[in-house]
Structures are given as C-alpha cells and as structure tokens.
Structure 1
Amino acid sequence: MDINIFIERRKSLKISQVKLCKDICTQSTLSKFENNGRIPSLTILSKLCERLGLSVDDLYKNSIATTTHMKSLLDKIESELMMENYSEASKGLSEINAGEIHNNALKMQYYYQQGIYEALTNGKLENAFYCFARILNDLDEKHQTIYTHLSYIGLGVFYSRLDMIDEASFFFEKVWNYINIHKDETYQKNGINIYLRVLTIVFYTAEFYIKIKDYDKSNELVSRGIKLCSEQHITYYLPRLKFLSAEIAIDEKKSDKEIEGLLSESLAFAKINHNVVVEDRINSLLEKYNEESDFKK
C-alpha cells in the first residue's frame, strides 16, 4: 500500500485531518495511518478514500513491486546478520528509509534487524531500545508475532553484553517460556524464514544460558536447534550451534575426543557456509583448549 497517494490527495484537496475523519473515525486513527502506517479497518479506510475520491485499490498501485523489492532487501540483510557479516548488514540497512516501508510485517522486520544489529555490534542502547519499542509498543502491541520474541532476544543480548545479567535474564526467561510453549509447533506454511527466526531465538537464548552456566537449559536448546536444522535442511546455524556444544562440553569437562569432535564438526560446517567469523572463533577456542590441555599435562 502506498500511503503517500492518500496523503498527497488529501493535501492537494486542502482537507485537514480533522475534516476528513469527521463522522468516520478519530483523528488519532487517521494520524496513525498517515504517520505510522497503521492501517485502519477496511470499512474506515474505504470511507476515507471515498471522501477523497479514491478507492482502496488506488492505494495499491505500483506498491506490489515496491513491497517485493523491500522484502528481498530485508531478507538479504537478515541472512547477513545470521552469517555475522555485520558490515554488509550495516550497508544494507543504511540503504533503507523506514518511512518508505508501508507493510507492517516488513516494518517489524526492519526494526528488528536495526535493533539486533545495534545489540550485536555493541551499538547505541537508545537506538536498539527505540527499534524494539516500535515493535513491542506499536507494530505488535498485542504481542502476537514472532517479532515480539525477537525483540526480547535483542534486548536480552544487549543487556548480557553489558553484563547486566538480571536484566538480560528477564527477557531470556520470556523467550525460554515461549520456546517451551511452542516446542512442538511446525511452521511449514510460513516458509523457511520462520525457521531461521526460531533458530535465532534458540541460538541466542542458549548462548546466554551458557554464559550464566545453566547447562541444562543450554544443552536442551542446542539439541533442539540442531534437530531443527537437520529436519529442515538448514545449515546457517549448524556451525554456531556445534560451537556452543563444544563450549558446553569444555565447561562440563567432557573427554578430549568429544570436544575435539564437536569443534571439528563446527569447523566443517563453518567452511561449508563460508562463515569466517565462526572459523576464527573455533580456531581461537581450539588454541586455548590445547594450551590448557598441555598445561594440565
């Protein structure tokens, strides 16, 4: 939907918001539509358009191609974030004007990506908060989509990286409960992206529970993540999940054979996915682990 068509027509006719919405809806409803893209009910929108000499269909002219293009851009950015290619993700985000996104789902995707980028790159807390607030308090205020829980993940990650564990725990507990409630759910009708987002939730929650040494939860989450990757033939997260398994195994003082096997698997999947960030992380952990093993000997 191209809301600018609606706005430009109203302004060209010199009709104020107050006058346009009289006996149809509140000015607040109209303002949210024009300024925030909050689409009112079809009945209200039809009446508003009729008063401007438009049809609802007029607002969709040329918007399908724009929406498709925007979705393609956002999906690419999401892939870059999953692969930890933050420079490419940043470049993609900088090319998008949030004001040009009129689809609510795409708006949530954009604000989630902008917020999680800030969290993962130790950016500005206020920027991340704004992005997640747009989702939690506006676009998904009833908390009915997965973007609510992705926002909790972003906030949890940010607090965790600031070592504000109590605050991080607050958000990760919400996500842990969500994961358990939906653990048997399938998302086949929603496409591959929903699985990738579920894996994002599982991965960062597991990572946090490793940090606070809750290995029961982290082991369960990693196992779920690996199972989901296997069932859906998704390799994006396998190197990172295997890496988490190796970290847990080291902390739990598992055998050298098991630890080295997990690190080897993680490295193999990282090479398949061309994830040099994980490769470097694995090599660093291997070096540290070997040094500690030699010291113990």
Structure 2
Amino acid sequence: MDISVFINRRKELKLSQVKLSEGICTQATLSKFENSDQVPSLSILSKLCGRLGITVDMLYQGEDDLSKVRKSLDMIEGQLMTEDYRRVLKGLSKINISKVESIPIRMQYYYLRGILNTLINRDPEKALFDFSRILNDLDEKHQTILTQLAFVGSGILYSRRQDYEAAQFYFNKVRRYIQHVYSMDKDVMENNYDLRILTLIYFTSEFFAINENYPLSNQLINTGLALCSEDHVTFYLPRFKFLAAENAIKEHRPHEMIDRLMDEALAFARINNNEVIEVKVAALRKKTANQNG
C-alpha cells in the first residue's frame, strides 16, 4: 500500500488529521495509519478516502493492473449470476490473487472462489477457508456486504451437507440483513450492490423453500422480483421465476399459475442467455406433465 498517495492528497486539500478524521475515527487512528502503517478497518479507510475524493484501490500500486483485475472479477460475478460455472472457473484460474494487495478485490475473489466451489460441490473445506478469510480477517468487523455473501456461501455449504441447524444459523443472519437493507443509503454501497443483494435474497429464499417454509420463501422471492423491477436488473429474474414455479408446484397451486411462471422463467432465461434455466424449465415441464398424466 502506498500511503503517500493518501497523505499527499490530504495535504493538497489542506486538511489536518483532526479535520479529516472528524466523525469517522479518532485522530490517533489516522495518525497510526499515516505514520506507522497501521491500516484501519476497510469501512473507516473507505470513508477517509471518500472524504479525500479518492478510492481505497488508489492506495495500491499498479492501479491499471488493479483495474483489469477488478473488471475481470466483475465479469466473473456476472457469469456466476447466470450459472455459467465453467467460465467462472476458467476466469478465476487466470487471476493470481497473491499479487493483489487491494482488500476489496481480495474479498471479491475469495467470495467468488468460495461460492463457486460450494455450488459445484468441490473442495468444501477450501470454500469455508475462503469465507473465513473474509469473516475473520479482511472484514472482521462484518461491515460490508461481502460478509453477508460469505454467510450465504457457508449456509449453502452446510445445507448441502444436510446440517440444517448450522445452515439456518447463517441464513437467519442474512434474512435479518435483507429486512433492513432498504433503509440503507445506496449511494455509499459497494460495487455490484444490486446483484449482490439479489444473490443474498435468491439463495436465502431457496434455502427456506428446501425446508418447506414456502410463505417465507415466496416473500423473499417477491422482494427479489421487486428489486429487479425497481433497479432494472434482469440477471436474477429467470431464477426467481423458476424457484417460484417450483414452490407453486409443491404448494399445489393452479396449473395455469404454474405454467405462467414457467413461461416467464423461460422468457427471462432467453433474454439473459441463461441456458441452465432453459434446461431446468424443460425438465420441470416434463416432470409435471408426467405427474398430471
């Protein structure tokens, strides 16, 4: 980390340590950062940098290289939304995270690698270790949405191990976060906020559906659909609609409603090039036809 970038910017703006730290942290915390390389929490550092009109990533060397890594990870995160796990795996394999100092980028990488290994049932212990890097090191005060994503990944992993008590522990944390998230100021949210909150909502609604709590699952699905509509985000629409169709079948809803949900899931899947949902819809149609026949 090049702290001189931070110090020079503060001096350019003629801000004293006392003035810069006001309302964010103590002057002693800022002094230790500038003089002793004692880096404060990511939340504090982000606010200090924001007041200076710079980003945390600008404190790290090789800004152009960091920008390329960030763009690659954002692309990979988008591929994760459409369940294109093969491309996610390939993209992550090209990134040498050991050469990256940026805390936000490291957290994004560990989240993506951990959730991928969880979803494809690969290296569960390594997945938990990746989540623990976020929870116990990079965001130990649990102040970013990456902590919630690490909770979701941990919940999915324990659910697949059929340890539902441990899984519910994590998903309840996420559900409480979702409940108050709309009171938060989106202007200060991290990159990819909408996609990340939708990831939280989707996997939490899926967990409660697996455990046959359909009212809560459907409530979360409707929250996700509303967010998709409000913020014009379509990545998760096919997955929410497909999950809603599965819930409707298990709740013995009218056939017309089930068919409509599957039609909508298929339409949104084609818009988003989500071939996985297209295959799932076809399989679900065949299964329901056989049951009704």
Is contact 1:243–1:263 with CA below 8 Å preserved after alignment?
yes
1:201 aligns with 2:200: yes
Q: What's the Cα RMSD here? A: 1.9
**Shift of the alpha carbon at 1:82?**
1.0
Q: Of the candidates 37, 50, 62, which is equivalent to residue 45 of structure 1?
A: 37
Look up the equivalent residue of 1:41 and give its one-letter code. Answer: F
**SS of 1:96's equivalent?**
coil
Match of 2:284 in 1: 285
TM-score after normalising by structure 1: 0.79
**SS of 2:35's equivalent?**
helix
Match of 2:50 in 1: none
Match of 1:164 in 2: 163
Structure 1 pair 203–86 and aligned structure 2 pair: CA distance change class (3 A): same
Is contact 1:187–1:195 with CA below 8 Å preserved after alignment?
no
Structure 1 pair 63–184 and aligned structure 2 pair: CA distance change class (3 A): same
**Shift of the alpha carbon at 1:289?**
0.8
**Shift of the alpha carbon at 1:60?**
5.5
**Shift of the alpha carbon at 1:183?**
3.7
Match of 1:22 in 2: none
**Shift of the alpha carbon at 1:224?**
0.4
Look up the equivalent residue of 2:149 and give its one-letter code. Answer: L
Once the two structures are superposed, what CA deviation does each residue of 1:73-97 show, in whole Å capped at 9, x if it has no partner?
1101111111111111001111111
Structure 1 pair 287–108 and aligned structure 2 pair: CA distance change class (3 A): same
Once the two structures are superposed, what CA deviation does each residue of 1:39-68 show, in whole Å capped at 9, x if it has no partner?
x7123239xxxxxxxxxxxx9585210111
Match of 1:240 in 2: 239
Match of 2:209 in 1: 210
Aligned runs of 1:38-117 on 2, under 5 Å?
41-45=33-37, 63-117=62-116
Q: Once structures 1 and 2 are overlaid, which stretch shifts more, 159-168 or 273-282?
A: 159-168
Look up the equivalent residue of 1:282 and give its one-letter code. Answer: V
Match of 2:18 in 1: none
**Shift of the alpha carbon at 1:164?**
1.7
Match of 1:130 in 2: 129
Is contact 2:60–2:102 with CA below 8 Å preserved after alignment?
no
Match of 1:142 in 2: 141
**Shift of the alpha carbon at 1:288?**
0.5
Give distance in 1, aligned partners of 2:59 and 2:234: 37
Q: Identical aligned pairs, as a percentage? A: 41
Is contact 2:242–2:261 with CA below 8 Å preserved after alignment?
yes
TM-score after normalising by structure 2: 0.80
Is contact 1:2–1:63 with CA below 8 Å preserved after alignment?
no
Unaligned runs of 5+ in 1: 4-39, 47-58
Structure 1 pair 155–62 and aligned structure 2 pair: CA distance change class (3 A): closer
**Shift of the alpha carbon at 1:102?**
0.9
**SS of 1:241's equivalent?**
helix
Give distance in 1, aligned partners of 2:109 and 2:190: 18
Match of 1:224 in 2: 223
Larger RCO (CA within 8 A; separation ≥ 6) = 2
Q: Which runs of structure 1 show a deviation greater than 3 angstroms over 4 or more consecutive aligned residues? A: 59-62, 183-186, 188-192
Look up the equivalent residue of 1:106 and give its one-letter code. Answer: I
Is contact 1:153–1:171 with CA below 8 Å preserved after alignment?
yes
Return the index of the structure with the highest Cα Rg: 1
**Shift of the alpha carbon at 1:124?**
1.2
Give distance in 1, aligned partners of 2:99 and 2:225: 37
